Amino acid sequence: MKKFFAVSVCMFMLLCCACGPARPAQITNTDTAMGTVIVQKLYTADSQGRAAQEIMELLGKLETQELSRRLDTSEVWNLNAGAGRPEGCTVSPSMEEILAGCLDMWHKSQGAFDVTLGPVVELWDIDGWAAGENGEDFSPPEDRQLAEALERCGAGRMELREGVLWLPEGMLLDLGAVGKGVAMDRILSYLQGNNNITGAIISLGGSVVTYGSKPDGDCWKVGIANPADTASIVGTLMLEGEWFVSTSGDYERYVELDGVRYHHIIDPVTGRPADSGIAGVTILAGNGFLSDALSTACFILGEEKGMALAELCGAEVLFVSTDGRITMSRGMEAYFETAE
């Protein structure tokens, strides 16, 4: 069995050095949150500033107080614990907005994107196997187990109305597909409210947010990993100002058994790792939630339907197929440079 736990390989930040005395200082910080590696490059007039630390604190709070399904301190944990309550559970305004966005994406993706897949995600526990936490003896769930878990899923069965969520008993929310996107939106708000910061590029595993500009005027360069060899890239996005880039790939978290790769992105129809001929999808959007949700949805839908969904949502998309073909939306071409 081969295991793989890629926390940050799917994105590379390619930055030129800032130099010259009048320029803002560059602060680089690497840390972990939400099960992934966070790399920050900030250009700031306040070289002693606490910005990088404050961003990590923001991410820590988002995970522990709001989004984690694993921690009993979070709102998602409480909502899951409240599944089956006839009176439902009160949700915070920010959680209501997140869940409404998830339901919207569920509709638009015709059910491919579904944050109620928690029971199936837990049954596979690809995160645990990929991280080596479950030992060496991986075997895929049995059909009967999958069928039982799938019976407890389905975003159409949850109800969200006026700040109250009703989840049928046994259901489990898992916001792994949008957590980094929500985090990127929060980070952008933080950056916009900090007058010292003139530019930033922050990578959260497979997701990148850019802000402002570099002191030397060069653009932000975000590499797109080659799924067949994650030490290399298929190309680079050349970006100016505020952007969100999210990638979903079958190489991010997976286990291999008998030559079959079992990855972490689930097709809600089968309850098994999605098999749409796609190895990696990258979304470029003006909003973090959208870029993250769409990258997951487009991975499951595949090229044709995924392209239509991205267009419907006003985002750009690039697919790398399992046989190495690259296809992208028209708008993406303006930002993409093929690797030499």
Instruction: Report how far residue 21's alpha carbon sits from residue 47's, in angstroms, rounded to the nearest whole number.
Output: 12
Q: Using CB under 6 A, pick the residue from 150, 276, 295, 313 that binds ligand FAD.
A: 295
- State the minimum distance, in angstroms, from the CB of residue 299 to Mg ion: 8
Contacts (CB under 5 A) with Mg ion, residues 277-306 = 292, 295-296
H/E element, 251? none
Instruction: Write down the least CB distance from residue 134 to ligand FAD, Å.
Output: 11
- Burial degree of 330 (CB within 10 A; 0-12, 13-18, 19+): exposed
Nearer of residues 122 and 240 to ligand FAD, judged by Cβ = 122
Q: What is the DSSP letter of 156?
A: G
**What residues contact 82, with CB distance under 8 A and at least 6 apart?**
88, 89, 165, 167
Given phi > 0 = left and psi -120 to 50 = alpha, else beta, which region is 250?
A: alpha
Binding residue (CB under 5 A) for Mg ion from 177, 266, 278, 309: 177
Alpha carbon 166 to chain centroid distance?
Answer: 25
Which residue, 185 or 252, has its beta carbon nearer to ligand FAD?
Answer: 252
- Pull the structure tokens for residue 75: 């709102």
Interface with ligand FAD: number of residues (CB under 6 A): 32
The Cα 119–Cα 69 span in angstroms is: 11
Partner interacting with residue 13 (select from ligand FAD, Mg ion, none; CB below 5-8 Å by kind): none
Q: Which residue, 43 or 129, has its beta carbon nearer to ligand FAD?
A: 129
CB of 322 to ligand FAD, least distance (A): 16
Sign of CA dihedral 306, 312, 313, 317: positive
Does 75 bind ligand FAD (CB under 6 A)? Our answer is: no
Q: Is 70 in the site for ligand FAD (CB under 6 A)?
A: yes
CB of 216 to ligand FAD, least distance (A): 30
Least Cα distance to 285 among 318, 248, 243, 319 occurs for: 243
Q: Which residue is nearest to Mg ion (CB)?
A: 296
What residues make contact with Mg ion under the rule CB under 5 A? 177, 292, 295-296
What residues make contact with ligand FAD under the rule CB under 6 A? 34-35, 63, 67-68, 70, 113-115, 117, 121, 127, 131, 174-177, 179-180, 205-206, 248, 252-253, 264-266, 268, 292, 295-296, 300
